[in-house]
Amino acid sequence: MEIRLANGDILFREPVPEGWSFTSRIIHSLERTPVEDEYRVVCGRIWQWQERFRSNNAGLPTVAPSNGRFLSSSAWFVLQGGRNRWQHLEYRVGTSSLGRNVVTLQGYGAVALFERLAGERIRFKPSSMALGAISPVLNLLDFR
């Protein structure tokens, strides 16, 4: 998995197993409530595994996606499935007043991106290469 800034600088590059997950968390701009998207790396693509949110007003989903389901509990509304998948994921980082983006990488912990990369665009991209050819990079953000 590789995470790069729009200018090409590498933020993170590590081998990850099939099914590895990462989560993005934002504060919704109108509702001012948390929204979490969980992704998994499967077959060289990024799959949106589920989305969790606390309010379903102001543009947030209210029905299940095709090939998915809509769940409701006292804490969260949850969309699971839907088969959204990408070769790479473009992600815009907000600020302390808009977005408050936090990314959690399985096995590496959470990073408050809005504190370090406000206004930046980053790209998440899984890749397939021999393990010996990957030089791990954890130099710009401490994901440990």
pLDDT, one tens digit per residue, over 80-117 is 887 889 999 999 999 998 889 999 999 999 999 999 99
pLDDT digits (tens, 9 = 90+) for 35-52: 899 999 999 999 999 989
Residue 116: closest CA among 1, 2, 7, 5:
5
CB 94 within 8 A of CB 101: yes
pLDDT of residue 11 exceeding 80, the answer is yes
Mean pLDDT of the region 63-86: 83
pLDDT of residue 21 exceeding 70, the answer is yes
pLDDT of residue 65 exceeding 80, the answer is no
The two three-digit tokens of residue 35, written as one number: 């929204």
C-alpha–C-alpha distance, residues 131 and 144, integer Å: 20
